[in-house]
Amino acid sequence: MITVYSPAHKDHWGQGEFFAGRMMDCYEVPERAARILASVQALNLGPVVAPPSLDHALLSKVHDADYLEFLETIHAHWVSENGDCDAFPYVFLSGRSVRPATAAVARLGQFATDACSPITAQTWTAACASAASAVHAAELLRAADEPVMALCRPPGHHAGRRSYGGYCFLNNGALAAERLLQAGAGRVAILDIDNHHGNGTQEIFYERSDVMTVSIHGTPDIQFPWFTGYSDETGAGKGEGFNLNRPLQANSDLAAYEHALIGCLDHIGRYGPDAIIVALGVDAGEGDPTSQLRIDTSGFAAIGARIASLAIPTVFIMEGGYNLDRIGGDVGAFLQGWHAAR
């Protein structure tokens, strides 16, 4: 396996996130990537390479131009109006139609879906480096006879065509899928095993049949992203039948998880993609502070082994996982399980 990793994420470290009426320390911290990188290196899973700089033309295949311009400029704009602190929305557009916003907080409110996702001076740089890792992983997959992992931070699966939230700014998995299509793939499947519904990825490809989106997650009745991730969201137009959600009840264990996973793998197998992107979050792990699922470390090895049985060229893209003492071992177990079954 080749791992693509950029250290540029380290300077993206928010001052806090708003949760249940209080400001809390951020869960999405640089140490997450350090723990996962250390585990990949300790297991001798293969070389770690840095990505080349991002192809900005590819960004506009996934995100709208005004949104990208917003992400790049908003922190400096915010500081000019509010002083030097992280950019946080406290007003939200929420579907209302308005004339284009001009104040920094109003611009934030046009594109933010939550107040968990501070934008710092380094967020744009870090998000671009994270996206570059995902895109480079897709590029390497062409020549490689082995899987490629993008050790992305910040994560990407909650970022929509023109929205950010859930610690995500650019949709790394969607960008990797677009690169695979550019390189000649006819069909790509994205299997999202992060504990949270991959709402951004679902939205981006909802009316398309060339990228199938599949997500297994804790039920949005009780957790982020709250509004989507139900099983009746199946795609629309040409994309009808190409989006699959498998929400799981709180306290679901490995048996319940594997039951859902087998159905998802069957659905992907019948689609017959040329490549699969695994949105690899390990926040379904028991004891994760954002999760109510109960997968232990050996469970992640079992999940990896089942996914390997697809025998399709595979890119892993890192998403969530917030228990610092567990995520290195859980990612390592997943990858070892995958390789052992190959």
Give me the residues that bind Zn ion (CB under 5 A), please. 194-196, 281, 283, 320
Q: Which of 203, 286, 319, 330 binds ligand OKP (CB under 6 A)?
A: 319
Answer yes or no: are the C-beta atoms of 213 and 242 closer than 8 Å: yes
CB-side neighbour CA atoms (13 Å) of 221: 8
> Residues binding ligand OKP: what is the number (CB under 6 A)?
14
Q: Please, what is the minimum distance in Å from the beta carbon of residue 152 to ligand OKP? A: 11
Q: Is 113 helix (H, G, I), strand (E, B) or coil?
A: coil
- Segment 99 to 128, residues that bind ligand OKP, using CB under 6 A: 116
Q: Please, what is the minimum distance in Å from the beta carbon of residue 342 to ligand OKP? A: 26
Residues 88 and 264: their CA atoms lie apart, in Å, by 37
Q: Which of 13, 18, 19, 271 binds ligand OKP (CB under 6 A)?
A: 19
- Please choose which of Zn ion, ligand OKP, none residue 19 contacts, taking the beta carbon within 5 to 8 angstroms, the exact cut-off set by kind: ligand OKP
Specify the residue, 215 or 314, whose C-beta has the smaller distance to ligand OKP.
215
Sheet of strand 314-318, all strands in order from the earlier edge strand to the far edge:
48-49, 2-4, 148-150, 314-318, 275-280, 188-192, 211-218, 243-248
Question: Which pairing describes strands 243-248 and 211-218: parallel, antiparallel, or unpaired?
Answer: parallel
Q: What angle do CA 79, 83, 84 make, to 5 degrees?
A: 75
Residue 270 one-letter amino acid: R
Output the DSSP codes for 267-303: HHHHH--SEEEEEE--TTBTT-TT----B-HHHHHHH
Q: Please, what is the minimum distance in Å from the beta carbon of residue 224 to Zn ion? A: 8
The candidate with the shortest Cα–Cα distance to 316, out of 199, 206, 176, is 176
Q: Please, what is the minimum distance in Å from the beta carbon of residue 27 to ligand OKP? A: 7
- Segment 25 to 84, residues that bind ligand OKP, using CB under 6 A: none
For the record, the structure tokens of 127 come out as 């998000």
Q: Please, what is the minimum distance in Å from the beta carbon of residue 284 to Zn ion? A: 8
Q: Please, what is the minimum distance in Å from the beta carbon of residue 108 to ligand OKP? A: 17
- Segment 184 to 213, residues that bind ligand OKP, using CB under 6 A: 194, 196
Q: Which of 166, 235, 304, 332 binds ligand OKP (CB under 6 A)?
A: 166
Residues 279 and 268: their CA atoms lie apart, in Å, by 14
Element counts in the chain: helices (H) and strands (E): 10, 10
Specify the residue, 23 or 42, whose C-beta has the smaller distance to ligand OKP.
23
Specify the residue, 169 or 205, whose C-beta has the smaller distance to ligand OKP.
169
Q: Which of 283, 286, 295, 300 binds ligand OKP (CB under 6 A)?
A: 283
Catalytic residue among 12, 75, 157, 158: 158
Is 95 buried (19+), middle (13-18) or exposed (0-12) by CB count in 10 A?
Answer: exposed
Q: Please, what is the minimum distance in Å from the beta carbon of residue 24 to ligand OKP? A: 7
Residue 199: enclosing H or E segment and its boundaries?
A: helix 199-205
Residue nearest to ligand OKP (CB): 320
- Please choose which of Zn ion, ligand OKP, none residue 224 contacts, taking the beta carbon within 5 to 8 angstroms, the exact cut-off set by kind: ligand OKP
- Please choose which of ligand OKP, Zn ion, none residue 116 contacts, taking the beta carbon within 5 to 8 angstroms, the exact cut-off set by kind: ligand OKP
158 is catalytic: yes
Specify the residue, 12 or 187, whose C-beta has the smaller distance to ligand OKP.
12
Indicate the length of the chain as a whole number. 342
Q: Which of 123, 130, 171, 290 binds ligand OKP (CB under 6 A)?
A: 290
Work out the number of other CB atoms within 10 angstroms of the CB of residue 87.
Answer: 24
Answer yes or no: are the C-beta atoms of 104 and 74 closer than 8 Å: yes
Distances (CA, A) of 73 to 6, 79, 260: 22, 11, 41
List residues with catalytic annotation: 158
Under the rule (CB under 6 A), what is the footprint of ligand OKP?
A: 19, 116, 155, 158, 166-167, 194, 196, 224, 281, 283, 290, 319-320
